[in-house]
Amino acid sequence: MALEILMPALSPTMEEGTLAKWFVSEGDLVQSGDLLAEIETDKATMEFEAVDEGVIGKLLVAEGTANVKVNTAIAVLLEDGDAADVKVPPAIPAVVAAEVTAPNVEFLTSAAPVTSTGTRIFASPLARRIASDSGLVLADITGSGPKGRIVKADVRTKIAPSDTLTAPETARTIPTSANATAVEAMYEGRAFKTVPLDSMRKIIAARLTEAKQTIPHFYLRRDIHLDNLLKVRGEVNKTLDARGIKTSVNDFIIKACALALQKVPTANAVWAGDRILQMKASDISVAVAIEGGLFTPVLLDADTKSLSQVAVQMKDLAERARNRKLTPHEYQGGSFSISNLGMMGIDNFDAVINPPQGAILAVGAGKKCPVVLGDGSLSVATVMSVTMSVDHRVIDGALGAELLDEIVKSLENPLSMLV
C-alpha cells in the first residue's frame, strides 16, 4: 500500500521547518537508511533517512518550501506490489516512513522495536520517544494508527496527568493573523516593512513569553573586581599562545559558574513541573547571538574541564551555532545559563530564565571605576556588574545569594580556578 512520508519533529519544540533539498526523485527505489531529504529547522539543518523500503511515488513538497508543518505529508512511498502509476488517494494512511539521521539524539532512532517473539512493533518516532521517556513498554500499548501503528495519542493516554512534566507543544501561543491585522491597521498611512516570523523567531517569542508569564523571577546583583582576573588571563594566554589557544573573560565566567554549582549543589537544579531535578554535573548553557535569533549551546561537565578546554570547546560550539550546525543534544538541557552583553558595551541588564533551568547570569561590561579600598582609601579598579535571574520555585533568595557569592569569589580570585 502507499504510505505517506511526513515532515518529522526534529526537536521537542519544532512545529514547522523548511524542506531544503531532496536527495531522491519520483520513481527512485529506496531502502531503509537511504537519505531522503535535508530539513532546516529553527535550530539546525539535518538529514532525513528512510525507514521503510519502497519506491518514491510522488514528491508532495518542492525543494525550498518553508513553513512546512510537522506531520504534513511531504512524499508518498509505494511498497512492494504497488503499481508505479497508482493514483494517490485523497487521504492516505498517515504512516511515518522516514526519520532523521542525528547522532546521539536519544528520542530519534531508526531501529524498529519488536515484541518478545520477534514481531515488529510499528510506532512513530515521536511515540517511541515519549514511551521511552515515560518508561512505557511499546508492546503494552495498542496502536490506533494505520496497520495498528502506535502514534503519540496512544502513548499519551497511558501517561497519567501527573507524569507529564512539560507543557504540550500545542500550548505555545503565537499571535494570530487577526491580531497582526489589527496592529497593522493602527499604522495605516505610515510606511513600514512586514517581516514574516521564521521558525526560530516564533520559538523565541513563544518560549520567552511562557518564561515571563509562568516563572516567578527574582534578581540578585553584584559588582565584581576584575583586575586580578585580567592579569591571570594575560599570563595564561602567554602559556597557551604556542598551542594557538586564547582564553576569554567569558571562559573564566563559565568555569566560575560551573565550580559554584558544585559548591552549592542544591542550586544546581531545574524545574520539572511537579518536582525539582538536582543535577550532579555542571552543564552550562551559553547564549550565542546569530542572525535572526540566538542559540544556547551547552558545555557539558564544565566543572571538570580546564580553562583551555573550556576555551577550545566553547569556540567550537559558538562557531557551529552561528553556522546552524549544532545537533539538538548540543543545545538542549543544562541547568544554568550565561548571557554576556558586556562585550557589546552594555553595563548591566536582566536576562530571562531559560526554562526549565533554575537561573541565568547576565554579564555586563568591565569598566574602570573609582572604588573604596578596605583601608578607606580611594583607588581605581575594573568593575563588572552581573545580575542573576532566579526561578523562586527552584532556588530561594538565600540559596541564590550563596551561589552568586561563590561565583564572585572565583572570579575575584582566579588562581583558585587553576588548581
In this predicted structure, the answer to whether residue 156 has a pLDDT above a threshold of 80 is no
Mean pLDDT of 398-410: 98
Report percent pLDDT > 70 for the chain. 83
Q: Catalytic residue among 217, 225, 329, 392, which? A: 392
| Residue 365: per-residue pLDDT | 96
The phi-psi region of residue 253 (left if phi > 0; otherwise alpha if psi is between -120 and 50; otherwise beta) is alpha
Report percent pLDDT > 90 for the chain. 48
| Residue 108: per-residue pLDDT | 53
Residue with grid cell 512586514, as numbered in its chain: 194
φ, ψ of residue 2 to 5 degrees: the values are -80, 135
Q: Please state the length of the chain.
A: 419
| Residue 219: per-residue pLDDT | 97
CATH number of 217-417: 3.30.559.10
Pair 298, 334: CB distance under 8 Å: yes
Omega before 196 cis (within 30°)? Answer: no
In this predicted structure, the answer to whether residue 187 has a pLDDT above a threshold of 60 is yes
| Residue 230: per-residue pLDDT | 96
pLDDT tens digit sequence for 203-218: 888 888 889 999 999 9
In this predicted structure, the answer to whether residue 364 has a pLDDT above a threshold of 60 is yes
Residue with grid cell 558544585, as numbered in its chain: 262
| Residue 249: per-residue pLDDT | 96
| Residue 344: per-residue pLDDT | 92
Pair 357, 285: CB distance under 8 Å: yes
| Residue 285: per-residue pLDDT | 96
Mean pLDDT of 111-134: 68
Among the ranges given (165-169, 173-177, 236-240, 312-316), the one the predictor scored with the smallest mean pLDDT: 165-169
For residues 136 and 364, the model is more confident at 364
Mean pLDDT of 275-295: 93
The grid coordinates listed for 124 are: 512513530
For residues 154 and 231, the model is more confident at 231
Pair 369, 396: CB distance under 8 Å: no
In this predicted structure, the answer to whether residue 92 has a pLDDT above a threshold of 60 is no
The grid coordinates listed for 140 are: 503494552
Mean pLDDT of 360-384: 93
For residues 16 and 283, the model is more confident at 283
Residue with grid cell 516567578, as numbered in its chain: 216
- Per-chain mean pLDDT for the chain: 83
Comparing CA positions, the residue from 304, 311, 339 lying closest to residue 252 is 311
CATH 3.40.50.720 fits 2-163, yes or no: no
Residue with grid cell 594557538, as numbered in its chain: 244
Sheet of strand 54-59, all strands in order from the earlier edge strand to the far edge:
2-6, 73-78, 54-59, 29-30
In this predicted structure, the answer to whether residue 70 has a pLDDT above a threshold of 70 is yes
Give me the residue spans of the domains in the chain: 2-163, 174-214, 217-417
| Residue 173: per-residue pLDDT | 44
Q: How far apart are the C-alpha atoms of 256 and 371, rounded to whole Å?
A: 23
| Residue 9: per-residue pLDDT | 82
HEC string of the chain equals: CEEEEECCCCCCCCCEEEEEEECCCCCCEECCCCEEEEEECCCCEEEEEECCCEEEEEECCCCCEEEEECCCEEEEEECCCCCCCCCCCCCCCCCCCEEEECCCCCCCCCCCCECCCCCECCECHHHHHHHHHHCCCHHHCCCCCHHHCECHHHHHCCCCHHHCCCCCHHHCCCCCHHHHHHHHHHCCCCCCCCCCCCHHHHHHHHHHHHHHHHCCEEEEEEEEECHHHHHHHHHHHHHHHHHCCCCCHHHHHHHHHHHHHHHCHHHCEEECCCCEEECCCCCEEECEEECCEEECCEECCHHHCCHHHHHHHHHHHHHHHHCCCCCHHHCCCCCEEEEECHHHCCCCCCCCCCCCECEEEEEEEEEEEEEECCCCCEEEEEEEEEEEEEECCCCCHHHHHHHHHHHHHHHHCHHHHCC
Pair 26, 59: CB distance under 8 Å: yes
In this predicted structure, the answer to whether residue 14 has a pLDDT above a threshold of 90 is no
| Residue 168: per-residue pLDDT | 37
| Residue 167: per-residue pLDDT | 36
pLDDT tens digit sequence for 306-352: 999 999 999 999 999 998 888 888 998 999 999 999 989 999 999 99
392 is catalytic: yes
For residues 407 and 117, the model is more confident at 407
